[in-house]
Amino acid sequence: MQTGLDINGGEELTERQMDVLNAVLRLLVEEGDRLTMTAVARRASCSKETLYKWFGDRDGLLTATVQWQASKVRVAPVDRARLDMASLTASLERFASDWLHVISSDTSIALNRVAIAHAGEEKRNLGAIVLENGRLAMGRRLKPVLLAGREAGLLAFGDDEQAFRTFFGLVARDVQIRLLLGDRVKPTDAEIGRDAAEATRQFLALYGAQTGAATAGL
């Protein structure tokens, strides 16, 4: 009753346990939330008893999977020294491209779907986890870059949260919601690269120190 429930921050997972979570992830992509504990056990070649010992219950298994996958998205921060327009543009494009790749991936779609499906319930953990490690983590990652850009006189904005949300909108547009709803619009790498560059260009047009000060909400 007391084991297997320590699914909080950065818990330690054995190799075997990660194999199990990988199986869950694949099943999630294939069948969505309809996966059964029996199917997981069969796919992972383990017993249901083990699943329950390790993860508590079905919800715990899903939570562990989402959390584990989310923990993989860590990316290196940017060095705030020596920032010019070229490196700022490159950073933004990199962010945009990474983000578009993530939200277009099958695993991200599957994970967001199950998190959204469970978001209306009392156990609202999945949605919060995905939000925390998706949208919010991206904000925490990008805001230092924006602030450094402002400090270097390259950007002009009043609130970094507002500036970030605009960038988010320019990058994501309608891609995520369409994919979540089952639309077949999965962009190619080339399209992602083009869209990332375009979004960055537009963002700089709005928030660049020279061009866009009038529209930056000052």
Partner DNA sequence: ACCGAACCGTAACGTACGGTACGGTTCCTG
Partner DNA sequence: CAGGAACCGTACCGTACGTTACGGTTCGGT
Identify which of residues 43 and 135 has a Cβ nearer to DNA in the complex.
Answer: 43
The Cα 52–Cα 58 span in angstroms is: 8
Q: Kindly tell me which residue out of 29, 37, 85, 116 binds DNA, with binding defined by CB under 7 A.
A: 37
Chain residues 47-86 in contact with DNA, contact rule CB under 7 A: 47-50, 52-54, 57-59
Other CB atoms within a 10 A radius of the CB of residue 25 amount to 18
Q: Is 4 a binder of DNA (CB under 7 A)?
A: no
Q: Is 123 a binder of DNA (CB under 7 A)?
A: no
The Cα 130–Cα 114 span in angstroms is: 10
Please list the alpha-helical segments (H only) found in 32-152.
Answer: 37-44, 48-55, 58-70, 85-104, 106-118, 125-131, 137-151
Q: Is 57 a binder of a second copy (CB under 8 A)?
A: no
| Max intra-chain CA distance, the chain | 63
Identify which of residues 121 and 189 has a Cβ nearer to DNA in the complex.
Answer: 121
Chain residues 162-191 in contact with a second copy, contact rule CB under 8 A: 165-166, 168-174, 176-178, 180-183
Q: Is 13 a binder of DNA (CB under 7 A)?
A: no
Asked if 7 and 55 count as a contact pair (C-beta separation under 8 A), the reply is: yes
Q: Is 34 a binder of a second copy (CB under 8 A)?
A: yes
For the CB of residue 180, give the shortest distance to a second copy in the complex, in Å. Answer: 5
Q: Considering CB distances under 5 to 8 angstroms, the limit depending on partner class, which of DNA, a second copy, none binds residue 153?
A: none
Compose the 96-135 pattern: x for residues touching a second copy by CB under 8 A, - for all others: --------------x-xx-xxx-xxx--x--xx-xx---x
For residue 184, the Cα-to-chain-centroid distance in whole angstroms is 20
Q: Is 15 a binder of DNA (CB under 7 A)?
A: no
Please list the alpha-helical segments (H only) found in 58-105.
Answer: 58-70, 85-104
The Cα 68–Cα 70 span in angstroms is: 5
For the CB of residue 121, give the shortest distance to DNA in the complex, in Å. Answer: 12
Contacts of 202 (CB under 8 A, 6+ apart): 170
What are 165's two structure tokens? Answer: 């949300």
What are 76's two structure tokens? Answer: 């290196």
Contacts of 85 (CB under 8 A, 6+ apart): 154
Site residues, DNA (CB under 7 A): 14, 16, 34-38, 41, 45-50, 52-54, 57-59
Site residues, a second copy (CB under 8 A): 31-34, 110, 112-113, 115-117, 119-121, 124, 127-128, 130-131, 135, 165-166, 168-174, 176-178, 180-183, 198, 201-202, 205-206, 212, 214-215, 217
